[in-house]
Amino acid sequence: MSVQFTCPQCGVTTEVDERFAGQSGPCRQCGATVTVPGAPSAPFGPPPPKKSSASIVIVVLAVGLVGALACGGILAALLLPAVQAAREAARRSQCTNNLQQISIALMNYHDVYNEYPPQYFADENGKPMHSWRVLILPYMEHQALYDQYDFNEPWDGPHNSQLASQMPQQFRCPSDPAIAAGGTFTSYVGVSGPGAFFDGPKSTRASAITDGTSNTMMVAEFAGGGVHWMEPRDLDASLLSGIVNPPDGRNMASYHPAGADAAFADGSVRFLSSSIDPQVLHGLTTIAGNEVVQNY
């Protein structure tokens, strides 16, 4: 098809192919610039290349991958607290099991000697030398370690110091970062002092626990206390503030949220909340205080 147009300068009519519609050029008569009426035609030349199916697949895959990564990140963020809670639950379960084994060892010691081990053995000057933790080693399947210990020198003597790195796993709480890294500080200490389960070099018999074995703490968590596992040092019940988990290094404390574990004279292990009544906590530290202990 052709397109006719008239030059506005000289009035000459010209006919051109429709492919020149919309383009401008000189009039054949007068030379004035004239624009051919009509819509511009498509340019000559090969059509633009089409996107290959491979390119389309790559784009789709890229978009899908970005979406998957975004969803994965959101899912991970949502699951992380649950995973951390599950890990802590497992660590706390192991902590409870550790204290359970310590409780059984203490009771087995009582079955053999008709009394619990003293808090420590002292030298001729009354200085503490050996901890109850060393005394119960044979009842925790650590007879070989017990046989290596030299009772003729203090716990930190030249020979005994070489045994420090052999601390039994039962004395470690897996929630304690320092203990988990393989340190020599124990997570568990005896509840000690006048009227407590452990009372210096004196031994306690089950018959003396008139408050009831289920209401008498033997051993408690002591995170951050800095007590070497062979050291004859424990938790002084007379210094307790009645608060569980204060970061002061002298109260019952753990790395578990909201409380700490304790082993009782009946062989049970219970989790004491940080919100426990201070009077109740003090009542649990005595063997014959006649306190009314409930709701803990």
- The alpha-helical segments, DSSP class H, found in 26-157 are 53-113, 132-135, 143-148
Query: What is the C-alpha separation between 52 and 242, in angstroms, rounded?
Result: 76
Residue 33 forms beta bridges with which residues? 26
Longest CA pairwise span in the chain (Å): 136
- pLDDT at residue 214 in the model: 94
Sequence-separated (6 or more) residues with CB below 8 Å from residue 202: 118
Q: Which residue has the tokens 């009946």?
A: 266
Domain ranges across the chain: 2-35, 88-284
- pLDDT at residue 44 in the model: 40
Q: Each residue's pLDDT tens digit in the chain (296 positions)?
A: 666 767 776 766 767 666 666 766 666 666 667 676 765 544 444 445 554 555 554 544 555 555 555 555 555 555 556 767 788 888 899 999 999 999 999 999 999 999 999 999 999 999 999 999 999 999 999 999 999 999 999 999 999 999 999 999 999 999 988 765 568 999 999 999 999 999 999 999 999 999 999 999 999 999 888 999 999 999 999 999 888 988 777 899 999 999 999 999 999 999 999 999 999 999 999 999 998 777 66
Q: Which residue has the tokens 């963020």?
A: 77
Structure tokens at 62: 């890229």
Count CB neighbours of 86 within 10 A.
11
- pLDDT at residue 292 in the model: 76
Cα dihedral value 165, 142, 213, 254, nearest 10: 20
- pLDDT at residue 54 in the model: 53
- pLDDT at residue 280 in the model: 94
B/e letters for 20-35, b = 16+ CB within 10 Å, e = fewer, are bbeeeeebeeeeeebe
- pLDDT at residue 191 in the model: 97
The torsion region of residue 100 among left (phi > 0), alpha (psi -120 to 50) and beta comes to: alpha
Structure tokens at 17: 């192919």
**DSSP, res 185:** B
Query: What is the C-alpha separation between 39 and 102, in angstroms, rounded?
Result: 96
Write out pLDDT tens, residues 251-296: 999 999 999 999 999 999 999 999 999 999 999 999 999 987 776 6
- pLDDT at residue 31 in the model: 62
- pLDDT at residue 58 in the model: 53
